[in-house]
Amino acid sequence: MNEYYNNHYITTDPEGRITSGWCEGPCPSRDTSGAVCINEAGGYQFRLHPGGEENPPLYTEDGIPLYRWEGERVVRRSEEEVQADRAAIPPPPPSEQERLRADVDFLAAMQGVTL
């Protein structure tokens, strides 16, 4: 019996955090330039480890990578690593409503009005 295998790939950022993962089964024409093949004998669905979860989430709900590549294997990042990334996220800019409120407060202060 002839079995067909699919390659599984990941891409990483400069710190080794896994930023993307896919299988050539459902993505046969995806560019693999700069990608790392982590499994040359995988199934149709992407897995980080043989026998692991199919199409696992690669990010936390707020967009922090959950895994890193250690040159030869995928490793789950520690909670401390995830928290350090989370702490490095800059605060969001003020919303339109917050900017409007600041403008109203400024104008009121210029006119000597207390709100």
Mean pLDDT for the chain overall: 91
Query: Quick check: is 27 in a domain?
Result: yes
Tens-place pLDDT, residues 44-99: 999 999 889 999 999 999 999 999 999 999 999 999 999 999 999 999 899 999 89
Q: How far apart are CA 106 and CA 50, in angstroms?
A: 60
Q: How far apart are CA 38 and CA 98, in angstroms?
A: 47
Query: Quick check: is 62 in a domain?
Result: yes
Query: Quick check: is 112 in a domain?
Result: no
Q: Tokens for 45?
A: 């669905």
β-bridge pairing 67-69 and 6-12: unpaired
Q: Tokens for 113?
A: 């009005």
The residue segments making up the domain with residue 80 are 6-87
Query: Quick check: is 39 in a domain?
Result: yes
Query: Quick check: is 94 in a domain?
Result: no
Q: How far apart are CA 97 and CA 82, in angstroms?
A: 31
Query: Quick check: is 110 in a domain?
Result: no
Q: Tokens for 60?
A: 């936390």
Query: Quick check: is 17 in a domain?
Result: yes
Number of domains within the chain: 1
Q: How far apart are CA 102 and CA 68, in angstroms?
A: 42
Q: Does the pTM of the predicted model rise above 0.85?
A: no
The owner of tokens 């789950």 is: 76
pLDDT band at 115 (very low <50, low <70, confident <90, very high): low
In this predicted structure, the answer to whether residue 1 has a pLDDT above a threshold of 70 is no
Amino acid in position 89: I
- Decide: 11 and 65 in contact? Cβ < 8 Å: no
